[in-house]
Every structure is written in structure tokens, then in C-alpha cells.
């Protein structure tokens, strides 16, 4: 099975959507409109998009603090995502979640978590629900190399393998947990090496290549739907920006060299995918330019939508606490 033109183009569109969305967030942050932290996903777009391209709307995903890209890749609405980041009432969470807590349950986005690795058990539980209720959806959780050291990760992988749950553990190894290199925090060469300890396949892939991510995820999804259990995928990627907007102290630190960053940025996932599509004859450069222009306009619209959306009202403060009112 291979991706067709329509799928490849849609993947490129979503990668551009994430990139331009994040560029807009950075710009808005520098203008002072965005008050909280925000963690740019720039450089890692191929992982979210490649993974979500292998999923259905009914499949569930969960993410982490660096999760603007995941919901956009799953088909989320950039208007509502941007409004949420600005704390507006039209945001996905009516302004109550913000940058680290985007969620759209209607298309399987179970929400992002500010606590590293905290979504991993949640996604495992979603897969448990699929198994117990005999439904054929799968669950996929994005987490980083830093999260891979949390107990929640190990506990979840053990349970998922023990119970053959339809879950895909997608480790985005971007090299650093804030400033701590994964080489200084992971005891084995690769996070995926740990899979064998849980009795599941561990797959190491190039996370800058969306097609490679799709291929690995597609196989993991096939296994999951067939009742063969979980897969751990480690996508090697790189965070082009610093850890978080507004943390100038970290920006100035020397946890990684400029040479390393420059080298990593030569493997930008957007041009890699664009060239692949052009080289394989699926699209022309002009068509790609058109996609980029359309998405630029779309993101400008999202920023305008978010800016025009009203803030929540004081009376909204007490809403949304309980599903069964007290």
C-alpha cells in the first residue's frame, strides 16, 4: 500500500499549516498578545502529519506540551486552535486550556497535557476502551525523549503489551528535554530499544520524512486493529526553535551548538516532502507554491479570527466543572 497524490498533497498542506501556524504564534508572542508559555513544534511537522495520515477520524490521539502540531495534523481547526492560544471564547476549550491543552473530542483529539508523559496512560486507556467495547479504533500518543523516562511511560507500555492493546507509542525524539540531551538521560542508544523489554516491536525511523513516518505508523495501526497489540515508534527529529517562547534564559544557554542546529535545519521536513512529491511526479513546484500561498492565507485568517473572538465572560469562570451538576 502506498500513498496516493491526494494523500501526499494533504500531508504537505497540513505540514505547511503547522509551520505557518507556529510562525504566527511566535510573531503574536513577540507582540505581547500571548501571555503564557508556548512550545513551537517547528522542525517536527513530519512526525505529527505522517502519523495522523495513517489514522481515521474515529482513532484517538493524545499529545503533550508541544502539541499545536498534533491536533492540526489530525484535522483540527486552526481558527479554534489559535483562538484557544489567545484565551478567547471561540477557542477549542473556550479559553480555559490554552497552548498546552488543545483538544477536539469530536475528531478523536483527547487533549494535550502539560505534564510530560501524563497523556501516555490516558491514550493506553483509550485503547483499553476499544478492546473492551470491541470497537476498531486505535489510539496513538505523541511523547518526547524526555517523557520516555517517566514511570507513566513504562507502566503504560507494560500494560499495553500485557493486554495487547491497540495503541501506538510515538516517541518524538527531538534530542532534548529542555536542555538535557537524550544521550545524557536515556540509558540505551535509542528509546525504541526499550520495546523488546515490553515484548512489542520497536521501530526507529527518520522523523523528518513524513512518508517514512506514515509507513511505520500504518504498519503499527494495522497490527493494532488486528489485535496484535502495541508498537513503539521512535521518530528521530529536531526542535528548530528553543524549548518555549518567553524563556530567554534557556535561549541564551549553550546546551546545543549553533553548528548542530544549522546541520539539523538542513533536514527541514517541509522541503523534504515537497521534493519527494515533485521528484516522484505527483505535483509541480507551482502546485506546491499554490498550496503554500493558500495555507498562508488560511493562517492569516486564523489570526484574524482569534483576534476578533471575544474573551470569555466572568460568568464563564464557573462553567464546565461538572458533567453531572452538583
CB 66 within 8 A of CB 41: yes
CA angle centred on 199, ends 197 and 205, rounded to 5° = 80
Distance CA 224, CA 161 (A): 11
Q: Which DSSP string corresponds to 21-84?
A: HHHHHHHHHHHT---S-----TT-HHHHHHHHTT--TTSEEE--SS-SHHHHHHT--HHHHHHH
Residue 186 beta carbon to another protein: minimum distance, rounded to whole angstroms: 20
In which region does residue 117 sit, left (phi positive, over 0), alpha (psi from -120 to 50) or beta (all else)?
Answer: left
Give the range of 25-33, 104-112, 193-201, 270-278 binding another protein by CB under 8 A: 104-112
Q: Is 181 helix (H, G, I), strand (E, B) or coil?
A: strand
Give the range of 26-34, 71-79, 151-159, 177-185 binding another protein by CB under 8 A: 151-159
Q: Is 156 in the site for another protein (CB under 8 A)?
A: yes
HSE-CB at 265 with a 13 A cutoff on CA atoms is 9
Give the range of 112-120, 171-179, 257-265, 290-298 binding another protein by CB under 8 A: 112-120
> Which of 127, 205 has the CB closer to another protein?
127
Residue 71 beta carbon to another protein: minimum distance, rounded to whole angstroms: 12
Distance CA 252, CA 151 (A): 31
Distance CA 22, CA 242 (A): 13
Subset of 72-101 contacting another protein (CB under 8 A) = 91-97, 101
Q: Is 35 in the site for another protein (CB under 8 A)?
A: no
Give the range of 132-140, 233-241, 246-254, 257-265 binding another protein by CB under 8 A: 132-140
Q: Is 55 in the site for another protein (CB under 8 A)?
A: no
> Which of 53, 130 has the CB closer to another protein?
130
Q: Is 39 in the site for another protein (CB under 8 A)?
A: no
Q: Is 225 in the site for another protein (CB under 8 A)?
A: no
The burial class, CB within 10 Å (0-12 / 13-18 / 19+), for 155 is middle
Choose which of 25, 81, 130, 302 interacts with another protein (CB under 8 A).
130
Choose which of 3, 51, 55, 110 interacts with another protein (CB under 8 A).
110
The site for another protein, by CB under 8 A, has a size of 50
Closest CA to 21 of 84, 63, 65, 64: 84
Choose which of 159, 203, 224, 232 interacts with another protein (CB under 8 A).
159
Choose which of 29, 60, 66, 273 interacts with another protein (CB under 8 A).
60
- Supply the DSSP symbol for 288: H
CB 123 within 8 A of CB 167: yes
> What angle, rounded to 10 degrees, do the helices at 285-308 and 78-85 form?
50
Choose which of 23, 155, 219, 298 interacts with another protein (CB under 8 A).
155
Residue 155 beta carbon to another protein: minimum distance, rounded to whole angstroms: 3
Q: Is 124 in the site for another protein (CB under 8 A)?
A: yes
Residue 148 beta carbon to another protein: minimum distance, rounded to whole angstroms: 14
Choose which of 4, 27, 57, 129 interacts with another protein (CB under 8 A).
129
Measure CA 67 to chain center: 5
The contact set with another protein (CB under 8 A) reads: 60, 62, 91-97, 101, 103-105, 110-111, 113-115, 118, 120-133, 137, 139, 151-152, 155-156, 158-159, 162-163, 319-324, 326
Amino acid at each position: 500500500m502506498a500513498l496516493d497524490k491526494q494523500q501526499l498533497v494533504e500531508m504537505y498542506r497540513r505540514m505547511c499549516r503547522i509551520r505557518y501556524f507556529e510562525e504566527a504564534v511566535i510573531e503574536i508572542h513577540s507582540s505581547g498578545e500571548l501571555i503564557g508559555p508556548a512550545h513551537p513544534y517547528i522542525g517536527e511537522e513530519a512526525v505529527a502529519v505522517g502519523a495522523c495520515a495513517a489514522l481515521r477520524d474515529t482513532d484517538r490521539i493524545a499529545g503533550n506540551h508541544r502539541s499545536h502540531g498534533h491536533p492540526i495534523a489530525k484535522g483540527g481547526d486552526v481558527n479554534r486552535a489559535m483562538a484557544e492560544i489567545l484565551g478567547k471564547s471561540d477557542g477549542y476549550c473556550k479559553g480555559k486550556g490554552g497552548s498546552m491543552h488543545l483538544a477536539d473530542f469530536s475528531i478523536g483529539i483527547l487533549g494535550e497535557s502539560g505534564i510530560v508523559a501524563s497523556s501516555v496512560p490516558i491514550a493506553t486507556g483509550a485503547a483499553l476502551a476499544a478492546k473492551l467495547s470491541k470497537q476498531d479504533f486505535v489510539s496513538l500518543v505523541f511523547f518526547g525523549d524526555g517523557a520516555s523516562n517517566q514511570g507513566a511511560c513504562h507502566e503504560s507500555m507494560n500494560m499495553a503489551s500485557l493486554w495487547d492493546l491497540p495503541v501506538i507509542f510515538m516517541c518524538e525524539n527531538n534530542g532534548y528535554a529542555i536542555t538535557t540531551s537524550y544521550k545524557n538521560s536515556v540509558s540505551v542508544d535509542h528509546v525504541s530499544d526499550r520495546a523488546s523489554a515490553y515484548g512489542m516491536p520497536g521501530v526507529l525511523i527518520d522523523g523528518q520524512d513524513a512518508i517514512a513516518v506514515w509507513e511505520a505508523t500504518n504498519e503499527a495501526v494495522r497490527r493494532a486493529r488486528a489485535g496484535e497489540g502495541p508498537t513503539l515508534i521512535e521518530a528521530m527529529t529536531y526542535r528548530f526553535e528553543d524549548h518555549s517562547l518567553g524563556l530567554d534564559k534557556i535561549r541564551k544557554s549553550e546546551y546545543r551548538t549553533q553548528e548542530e542546529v544549522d546541520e539539523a535545519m538542513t533536514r527541514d521536513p517541509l522541503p523534504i516532502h515537497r521534493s519527494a512529491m515533485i521528484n516522484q511526479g505527483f505535483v509541480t513546484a507551482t502546485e506546491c507554491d499554490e498550496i503554500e500561498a493558500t495555507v498562508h492565507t488560511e493562517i492569516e485568517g486564523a489570526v484574524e479570527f482569534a483576534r476578533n473572538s471575544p474573551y470569555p465572560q466572568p460568568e464563564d469562570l464557573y462553567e464546565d466543572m461538572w458533567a453531572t451538576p452538583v
